[in-house]
Amino acid sequence: MSSTFANSKYAIVGAGLIGRLLAVALAKRGAQVTLFEKGGPEALDSAARVAAAMLAPLAESAITEDNVVRMGIHSLPRWQQIINELAKPVFFQQDGTLILWHRQDASDAERFVTHLERNSRNNRLLVAPQKLDSHALQNIEPSVAERFSQGLFLPNEGQLDNRQLLEALLVELTLMKVDCRWHQAIEPEKLRQDHKEYDWVLDCRGLGAKANWQSLKDARDLRGVRGEVIRLHAPEVKLRRPTRLIHPRYPIYIAPKEDDVYVVGATEIESEDMSPMSVRSAMELLSAVYTVHSGFAEARILEMATQCRPTLKDNLPEITINKKSDSPHLMMINGLYRHGYMISPAIMDCALEILSTGNSNTALELGLSIHSGAAPKETQGKDAKVVSCV
């Protein structure tokens, strides 16, 4: 694949998770890459910075489509490969997911367990969930065994440290001599018009590309879904793996990172409000996390953060291609929703295949939507040539 990309020129707009992954991957394959980002290298305004970065296809199968689950399964071993190739270490673990519930929520838990068991039977790549009694729970996660007498264990699921990863990818961009244009906002269509030297322009801006997606001929609207997380420093808590609490109002997740840091979240609000976290959300998250482990009572709040995840109307990711004979081709990648870290290696692999060969067998196998979409309305005309890529 390297020879395919050697001496090719790519412009990537947006230096969030998928933008950085593709910039590094293309540069390592011999391509010349220019990365444009309206913000700075710290990714302070990126949805990728405000995330728990859990890699949990079976757990997520309860609320998402089968193709997203397949992308998550594909991505788990790829994350290990990607991280192993980085110069700067990134925290990564694959010790499974723990599901807990209080006695009064047993009926909700039973429905959840039945759902996951059915999904694992229908997908042979998923490892069946394991029911835990008090003894098994004591062995797997002793720090919560006093408060819970049963649970569910999902083997092989994992997580990584999202902020360490963004920093490590930044180091890699420097090592690979990627031309990074920080604090430079630019429209992909303007790049196509003014810079004919590029072979491809890749739009990886997430919610920043909203106007462009709304201008597509078939109006595949892009929206933001607000998420809120709290980062805690809790030395008295020793959770070994991501833990989810089944609850009728706020089913929280707790993702343990290095140095006794925990990322706690649950909220998913149909809103593009970027304002600080509400008192209600903070109280619900903190109250729920305390019911999991009393040690959180003495935790220190490091950060309360909010961000909006880029989401298409079907809550599924998509790649849209527009090819023109007289300007760089355009690839638009978006709609990763709440599954950005879980599926981004799969999205990256599909994009690289398209850039290399014009189609992607991986996308067909995983069920990733690839559209040979028309250009945004303001750029359509007799010169616009839409080429099918699958």
This model's pTM is above 0.85: yes
> At residue 376, does pLDDT exceed 70?
no
pLDDT at position 80: 97
pLDDT over threshold 90, residue 100 = yes
Q: Which of 257, 343, 309, 306 is nearest to 18 (CA)?
A: 343
Give, in order, the Cα–Cα distances in Å from 88 to each of 167, 175, 211, 304, 305: 8, 11, 36, 27, 25
Q: What is the mean pLDDT of residues 264-283?
A: 91
Q: Region 283-312: what's the mean pLDDT?
A: 96
CATH of 2-49+163-221+314-385, one of 3.40.50.2300, 3.90.1150.10, 3.40.50.620, 3.50.50.60: 3.50.50.60
Residue 238 and residue 235: Cα distance in Å, rounded?
A: 7
Question: E strand or H helix at 155, and its extent?
Answer: none
- Rounded CA separation 27/173 (Å): 8
- pLDDT computed for residue 219 by the predictor: 52
> Closest Cα partner for 18 from 1, 5, 35?
35
What b/e sequence results for 173-197 when a residue is b if at least 16 CB atoms lie within 10 Å of its CB, and e otherwise? beeeebebeeeeebbbbebbeeeee
The whole-number pLDDT of residue 380 equals 34
Greatest C-alpha distance within the chain: 70
Would residue 206 be called left, alpha or beta, if left means φ above 0 and alpha means ψ between -120 and 50 degrees?
left
Provide CATH 3.30.9.10 ranges for the chain: 97-155+224-311
Mean pLDDT of 332-347: 97
**The pLDDT of residue 275 is above 70:** yes
The answer on pLDDT for 3 being more than 90 is: no
Whole-Å CA distances, 290 to 71, 96, 269, 285: 33, 22, 23, 9
Which 3 state secondary structure label does DSSP give 259?
A: coil
pLDDT of residue 260 exceeding 80: yes
**d(Cα 255, Cα 157) in Å, to the nearest integer?**
12
Q: Over the stretch 143-193, which tens digit does the pLDDT of each residue have?
A: 999 999 999 999 999 999 999 999 999 999 999 999 999 999 999 999 999
pLDDT at 218 over 60: no
Share of the chain above pLDDT 70, in %: 94
Burial class (CB in 10 A: 0-12, 13-18, 19+), 46: buried
What pLDDT is attached to residue 373?
64
For the chain, how many residues are written?
Answer: 390
Strand intervals (E) in 175-233: 179-182, 200-203, 222-233
pLDDT at 383 over 60: no
| CB of 281 closer than 8 Å to CB of 267 | yes
Q: Does 97-155+224-311 carry CATH code 3.30.9.10? A: yes
d(CA 210, CA 294) in angstroms, rounded, equals 43
Find how far residue 306's CA is from the centre of its chain.
15
For 120-153, write each residue's pLDDT tens digit. 999 999 999 999 999 999 999 999 999 999 999 9
Residues of the chain with CATH 3.50.50.60: 2-49+163-221+314-385
Q: What is the pLDDT of residues 298-318, one digit of tens each?
A: 999 999 999 999 999 899 999
